[in-house]
């Protein structure tokens, strides 16, 4: 099966878009059922979410819209938390119920699968369940995809003059002390970044991608191009990680937010274009289970799925929205980085088993093969970008 066929089989390939804006109508649950759910959620009074940055996929707009519509308080935990952080937060909440216990999580698909096996999630199927592609949801309702993006190069164009066009370009001498990951190696974003780099090196061989990705980053580290800190918008802007491997929706959000301050380019690599599906799930120990279910209904409505698209993320119900002519016409402008002159690359959507295998290979093999710890940004003592690759790498290796 080629990439385009695989994409279609997953139900994620785009169709021709309507040329006119169409009013948005959510596929609603039965009126009585929704009224009962709203009443039960209001009685709980609160929802606790985790790892939802307000500048990520329009989450700020979504969160505020939910509060305004239903009058619930939303407790926002650790906006920049990783998938692993969220799973640990559920585990920590098993024996207690406090303000640090999340009701819902937003995690990578492989993390959701293992969390289900460990009994950390509870099933719930939203009213729009049938419009979610089969490949992007658990048949029993324990989790379902919410949005997807592709890994891209977010580049500080004020500091980097020659734009890398593909993964192999990142090994060039001009990118010394420049390339960073936007997460520690246990995060879904970092794992998928290594996988995508390896997918390019392995010429699309999914089974070899994880091993090749480790070799790729080992080479970057040996050349001094890899900066072993968890990169973010600040490290991109100040030059500590002027090239950041990041989900495209985060990179595009930075480009808009920093316009006039830092010139940012977002480059989709020519090969190894890996799409990552992030999923929603309800904790098995949710203190506010009805508020969690109402939140899920809200997230999977037409209204909020389109809000994701405006925030540069592909909503998981994108194909259904397109078929019904519900996608606003400006989506091409917002996602124009996906269109290349002279070539067109469909994203690869790794199967769940491939993601799980890749995560095991990458997280278990990173220390031995790449040989450097990816650390949090230090609070002080910054001596310029060159200091990171030398001092932090030597410290990680015990020398």
Q: How do residues 260-307 score in pLDDT, each as one tens digit? A: 999 999 999 999 988 888 999 999 999 999 999 999 999 999 999 988
pLDDT digit string (tens) for 50-101?
999 998 888 999 999 999 999 999 999 999 898 999 999 999 998 787 889 9
| Residues paired with 129 in a beta bridge | none
Instruction: Say if CB 46 and CB 288 are below 8 A apart.
Output: yes
Q: Is the model's pLDDT at 220 over the cut of 60?
A: yes
Phi-psi label, residue 292: left if phi above 0, alpha if psi -120 to 50, beta otherwise: alpha
Could you tell me the pTM of the whole model? 0.70
State the DSSP H helix or E strand holding residue 247, giving kind and residue range, or none if neither: strand 243-247
Structure confidence at residue 239 (pLDDT): 96
Cα–Cα–Cα angle for 89, 61, 230, rounded to 5 degrees: 45
Position 390 confidence tier, pLDDT thresholds 50, 70, 90? very low
């Amino acid at each position: 099966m080629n990439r385009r066929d695989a994409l279609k089989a997953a139900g994620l390939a785009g169709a021709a878009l309507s040329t006119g804006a169409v009013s948005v109508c959510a596929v609603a649950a039965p009126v009585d059922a929704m009224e009962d759910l709203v009443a039960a959620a209001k009685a709980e009074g609160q929802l606790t979410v985790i790892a939802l940055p307000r500048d990520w996929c329009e989450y700020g707009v979504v969160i505020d819209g939910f509060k305004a519509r239903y009058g619930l308080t939303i407790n926002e935990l650790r906006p920049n938390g990783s998938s692993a952080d969220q799973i640990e937060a559920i585990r920590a909440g098993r024996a207690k119920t406090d303000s640090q216990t999340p009701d819902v999580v937003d995690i990578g698909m492989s993390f959701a699968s293992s969390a289900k096996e460990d009994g950390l999630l509870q099933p719930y199927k939203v009213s729009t369940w049938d419009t979610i592609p089969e490949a992007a949801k658990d048949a029993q309702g324990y989790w379902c995809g919410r949005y997807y993006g592709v890994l891209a190069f977010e580049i500080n164009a004020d500091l980097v003059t020659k734009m890398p066009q593909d993964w192999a370009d990142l090994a060039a001498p001009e990118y010394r002390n420049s390339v960073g990951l936007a997460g520690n190696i246990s995060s879904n974003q970092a794992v998928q970044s290594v996988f995508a780099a390896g997918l390019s090196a392995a010429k699309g061989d999914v089974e070899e991608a994880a091993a090749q990705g480790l070799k790729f980053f080992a080479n970057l580290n040996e050349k001094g191009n890899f900066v072993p800190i968890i990169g973010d918008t600040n490290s991109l802007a100040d030059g500590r990680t002027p090239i950041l491997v990041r989900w495209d929706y985060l990179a595009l959000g930075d480009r808009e937010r920093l316009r006039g301050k830092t010139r940012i380019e977002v480059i989709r690599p020519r090969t190894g274009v890996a799409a990552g599906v992030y999923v929603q799930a309800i904790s098995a120990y949710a203190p506010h289970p009805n508020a969690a279910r109402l939140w899920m209904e809200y997230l999977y409505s037409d209204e909020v799925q389109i809000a994701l698209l405006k925030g540069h993320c592909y909503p998981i119900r994108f194909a259904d929205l397109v078929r019904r002519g519900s996608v606003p016409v400006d989506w091409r402008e917002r996602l124009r980085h996906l269109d290349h002159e002279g070539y067109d690359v469909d994203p690869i959507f790794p199967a769940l088993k491939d993601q799980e295998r890749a995560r095991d290979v990458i997280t278990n093999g990173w220390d031995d093969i790449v040989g450097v710890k990816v650390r949090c940004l230090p609070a002080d003592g910054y001596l310029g970008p060159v200091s990171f690759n030398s001092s932090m790498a030597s410290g990680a290796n015990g020398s």
